[in-house]
Structure formats: structure tokens, C-alpha cells
Structure 1
Amino acid sequence: MSDGEPTSPELEKLRFLYRVQLQQVAQTQRWIDAELARVRERASRRPLPDGPAYVLSYLRAGGQPTADSVHLGDCRQASHHTRPLTREQALQAITSGGLRACEICRPDSELGVLDS
């Protein structure tokens, strides 16, 4: 407020209200920022996987289990008879182990194996 500016009790009350509201808006913005930080923190946490990343699926051939194919851990095309694999084991099974990669879940793409 500069000197010579008209004033009145009502104008003073309105200016006071304006300052209070600016403080409330600033507080609300701080609350929004804090909640946004909490939401981002929760979103950045990844739940631990329920199972292995890769599995080796077996088929029964003549009563003996025979390794059939490599799948992503959550693939529903894998047989009920599976064994968990590490990333390295899955990569080895597909590239030099002679096993096929599931055509549905495509573990070969996940592993970065190019089709030849």
C-alpha cells in the first residue's frame, strides 16, 4: 500500500483476507507436492515377482520327462511340469541348448535373442 492510496476498514479487511488466502493456497500446494511425492514413491516400488522370470517346460514322452520349451514365468502355455531358470540358463537353453522359445510369451525377445 502506497501513501495516498484510498483506504477503508472494508478494504483493509479484504486485503487481510487476501493474504490469508494466499497462505492457504501455498499450504495446499505444499500438501499436493507432498502427496505427489508419496504417490511417486509408491509407484516406483515394484512388487517382488511371485515366481521365476523364466521356466523350462517339460512334456512326458514315454513316461520320461523331456525338456520341451522355455517360457516366461507367468506364461499360461507352459506345461504343469516346469523348472525355474535363471536368465543365463534360459538364454543358454534357447541359443545352444536346442530348446525352442514359446511363440506366445516370446522369452527370446525378452532375452534379446534375434531370430535367424
Structure 2
Amino acid sequence: MVALLAAFTRIEHVNDDRPLTRLDMLRFARRVVEHQAARQLALMDRWIADEERREAERQRRLAARQAAPDWLIERALNGRGAVYVHVGGCTGAGSRARGAGREQAVQALTEGGITPCPLCRPDTVLGILE
């Protein structure tokens, strides 16, 4: 506050119309503090908005992860046949993998002759012995 008043008294020499009063200096100091507070509040508002965006994205990712199917069947490049059966959420599942039910996954592994993913081992999870 003392530094503000000192800065304000230097302005007195520029404005020679009338001498500055203590009240003038206090009003000047209030305007400076008000301006600084407004800048700090704007900064806090940006931080809050950024954190709200991060939290919303985290919630979207969590919801998407929870909505993932339990089993995936990955189609071949030509789209006709299947190449792998995966446990839902397997990192080895490609973009051609589609959700499947338990019965579908069991049937694909037993009757369909589709290979189980070597990473997530859906045959072990399903209890299918080769």
C-alpha cells in the first residue's frame, strides 16, 4: 500500500492543478487494487473452466470404459471372416473389432474355429480348454 501511495505522489507532479489529498491517494489505491483483483478473478475463472473441462473429459472416458463390451470379435481385413476373439478392453483389439456376447464369443472359439487373442487369452477367461 505504501508503494502505491508513493507512486501516486509522483503523479502529483504531473497534475499541478491542485495538490493531491490523502483521499485522492486512497481512491487511486482502491482503483489499483480493484483492477488487480479483477485480473486475478479472471485468471481463477480460467483455471476453474480448464479444470471443469478436464473433469468432464475424465468422466466421458470413464463412461466409455464402463460401456465397453465384455467380448470382442475382430474381423479380417476383407470384412468377411473373423481373425481373433478378444476380452473386452484388450489393447490388441484393432479398429475392426466389434462387441459380442458371451455365447457368441464361446461359439466363435469352439465352433467357428476363430483364434483367441494371444494377449488377453479369452479362451482362458471363458474356461474353454483346447
TM-score band, normalised by the shorter chain? 0.5 to 0.7
Deviation of residue 99 (structure 1)?
0.3
The TM-score with structure 2 as length reference comes to: 0.47
Aligned pairs for 1:31-70 within 5 A: 49-61=66-78, 64-70=79-85
The one-letter amino acid paired with 1:109 is T
| Structure 1 residue runs without a partner (length 5+) | 1-46
Residue 14 (structure 1) aligns with? none
Residue 12 (structure 2) aligns with? none
Residue 83 (1) aligns with residue 98 (2) = yes
The one-letter amino acid paired with 2:92 is Q
Residue 72 (structure 1) aligns with? 87
Distance 1:113 1:100 in 2: 12
Deviation of residue 98 (structure 1)?
1.0
Distance 1:96 1:66 in 2: 14
Distance 2:88 2:68 in 1: 6
Residue 107 (structure 1) aligns with? 122
| Structure 2 residue runs without a partner (length 5+) | 1-62
Higher helix share: 2
Structure 1 segments of 4+ aligned residues over 6 angstroms from their partners: none
> Aligned-residue CA RMSD in angstroms?
1.9
Give identity over the alignment, percent: 37
Which protein has the larger Cα radius of gyration, Structure 1 or Structure 2?
A: 2
Structure with the greater relative contact order (CA < 8 A, sep ≥ 6): 1 or 2? 1
The TM-score with structure 1 as length reference comes to: 0.52
Aligned residues: 67
Distance 1:94 1:53 in 2: 15
